[in-house]
Amino acid sequence: MTYTLEQVGAIAAFAGTFFGQLFRRPFEGRELIRQMDETGSKSLLLVLITGCSIGIVLSMQSRGTLARFGAEAVLPNMLALSVVKEIGPVITSLVLAGRLGAGIAAELGSMRVTEQIDALEVAALQPFKYLVVTRVLACVVMFPLLTIACDVVALLGGYAESLLSSDLDYRLFVDQAFSSLRLSDVLFSTAKTSVFGFLVSIVGCYSGYYVRGGTREVGQAAMRAVVIGSLLVLVADVLMVRLSLILFGG
Amino acid sequence: MSVPEAEIIVKDLHKAFGDRKILRGVSVYAERGSTVAVMGGSGTGKSVLLKHLVGLIEPDAGEIWVQGKRVDQLNRSDLNELRLRIGYLFQGGALFDSMTVEENLDFVLRRHSKLSRRERIEQIHEAIAWVNLPHAAEQYPAEMSGGQKKRIALARAIILRPDILLCDEPTTGLDPASVRTVSDLIMRLRAERGITTIAITHDLLCAEIIADHGIFLSRGRVLAEGTLDELRSSEHPELQAFFG
């Protein structure tokens, strides 16, 4: 219990350092763009496949159940609401927590044990700013964009499945899907993934940045980053959904 | 005759990690332009001593002076300013794996100089030619041998023309020919630029080539110091075992 509290405190202090460094020069724009590319374009295929799979499976599973209640017609509404409001943001963030959380922790951990972070430090190159601030900002920006990509592909997957099963007209599908969505739902659900991106990346950076030892410890840091990052996404989601209910109602 | 100026002074340095006492009152003195070899077996606190000199580790007690500045009391900005006058050659080279040799050197130069891109590239090519690897610019560290990595790391350490060079095991794991090449480069730095060097090593060949003063550490204390001949002729069993 003491160890857990110590870790929570240390991660909070690490996040505090991030905010302290965020608006200080130099701004490392070139590295930020490189990290956005690493985070975004290299995760895109994974996110698209995940989204497509979610859409198809959700459509297949729900059709039978809705048909039993004579409510098959509301399938597009149900699909859009569940994908955009909850499944898209959370599944995208969990998939990215696996890929990016582990990747960031392993990369920074390797840099630590091979003294590359010390080399940055002794060359007066501000490693925290260069390595941590850029990675966290990249995740904060790219998580929502990847979530939008996941949502769109999930809806397309759902439509494709509906088309094969019931020859549903695409205009009807689109009309129905978007009639039940409010702008606030879309904006809030997408924006909350910035918070998930922040949590996943700050935990990944923290796990890797302070690794001591060798390759075994780097592996453990990567695993810890995925586990803690994923748990934080789920806990933060509960809080964010509660907040959205307070702000925007059901 | 000019009075020798101390470039580096370490006074009664103590450091422990948890219950493990690593340094127990180490004192080191390096004159400007001299080369000091810090020797000793594994785990005697040699690397920890070196990291104190650039503020990577804070001491529990004692004083560290570099170029008249007390390192352990400098604020972040003054420490960074001092670090620009110190080159550090890490044990494994610590080259950034995601960058080519040219990018590794440019990364440091771009941030700490006002040179144009063309001038920087010229300086980088001059530096890698100086370490006898003129065609390595486009290579990644993973494509190079241990000796080549060390030489490129040395080129990166001196790219900002520092006054002081700190070397952590500059020749560990290298074949005798590479040991001689790297050691000769360190000697040339002293001859051509008057750089003050502190080198951590347990490689006798390297120490013999580069050092004009040796310090032998044992269990976190200075066991003996003097010229290499003086250390070699000591009758202390640990020194006799070390020098064979």
Q: Minimal CA–CA distance to B196: which of B2, B4, B40?
A: B4
Chain A closest-CA separation from residue B233 CA (Å)? 36
Give me the mean pLDDT over the B195-224 stretch: 92
How buried is residue A98: exposed, middle or buried, by Cβ count under 10 Å (0-12/13-18/19+)?
middle
pLDDT tens column, B226-235 = 999 999 998 8
Neighbour order of strands in the sheet with B164-168: B86-89, B164-168, B196-200, B35-39, B213-218, B221-226
Q: Which residue did the predictor score with more confidence, B173 or A112?
A: A112
Residue numbers of A between 116 and 135 with CB closer than 8 Å to B: 116, 118-119, 121-125
Cis amide linkage into residue A26, ω under 30° from 0: yes
* A124 → chain B, closest CA residue: B80
Whether the predicted pLDDT of B2 surpasses 60: no
Shortest distance between the Cα of B160 and any Cα of chain A, in A, equals 10
- Asked whether residue B193 carries a pLDDT value surpassing 50, the answer given is yes
pTM: 0.89
CB contact under 8 A, B96 and A115: no
pLDDT value at B3 more than 70: no
Q: Do B96 and A125 touch (CB under 8 A)?
A: no
Confidence of residue B5 (pLDDT cuts 50, 70, 90): low
CB contact (8 A) between residue A118 and residue B94: yes
Output the average pLDDT for chain B: 92
pLDDT of residue A42: 93
Residues B9 and B22: beta-carbon distance below 8 Å: no
| CA R_g for chain B | 18
How far apart (Å, rounded) are the C-alpha atoms in residues A137 and B46? Answer: 38
Question: A5 CB near a chain B CB, below 8 Å?
Answer: no
Say what the pLDDT of residue B217 is: 94
**Number of Cα atoms under 13 Å in the Cβ half of residue B69:** 17
- What does DSSP assign to residue B219? T
Instruction: Name every chain A residue with its beta carbon within 8 A of the beta carbon of B80.
Output: 124
Which residues in chain B touch residue A25, judged by CB atoms under 8 angstroms apart? Answer: none
Q: Element (H or E) spanning B154, and its range?
A: helix B146-158
Q: Nearest-CA distance from B108 to chain A in Å?
A: 7
Is A122 in contact with B83 (Cβ distance < 8 A)? yes
* The token pair that represents B118 in the structure block: 């063309």
What are the residue ranges in chain A where pLDDT is below 50? Answer: none
Query: Which of B54, B81, B103 best probes binding to A when mutated, by most A CB atoms within 10 angstroms?
Result: B54
Closest chain B C-alpha to A115 CA, distance in angstroms: 5
Which residues in chain B have their CB less than 8 angstroms from residue A125's CB?
Answer: 107-108, 111
Backbone φ, ψ for residue A175 (5° rounding): -55, -50
Distance (Å, whole) CA A108 – CA A102: 10
Partner residue opposite B90 with nearest CB, options A118, A124, A125: A118
pLDDT of residue B1: 42
Whether B175 and B146 have beta carbons less than 8 Å apart is answered as no
Q: Which residues of A touch B95 (CB under 8 A)?
A: 116
Whether B243 shows a pLDDT value over 90: the answer reads: no
CB B124 within 8 A of CB B137: yes
A114, closest residue in chain B (CA to CA):
B94
B18 has a pLDDT exceeding 60: yes
- What's residue A155's pLDDT? 95
* Neighbour order of strands in the sheet with B20-31: B20-31, B6-17, B61-66, B69-70
By C-alpha distance, which of B185, B173, B186, B184 is closest to B147? B173
Nearest CA in chain A to B81: A124
**Cα distance between residue A80 and residue A93, in whole Å:** 18
Residue A29 touches partner B, C-beta closer than 8 Å: no
Cα B169 to Cα A227, B41, B174, B184, distances in angstroms: 38, 12, 10, 15
Q: Do B83 and A123 touch (CB under 8 A)?
A: yes
* Residue B213: alpha-carbon gap to chain centroid: 14
User: Which of B188, B178, B187 is closest to B150 using CA atoms?
Assistant: B178
Q: Is B66 strand, coil or helix? A: strand
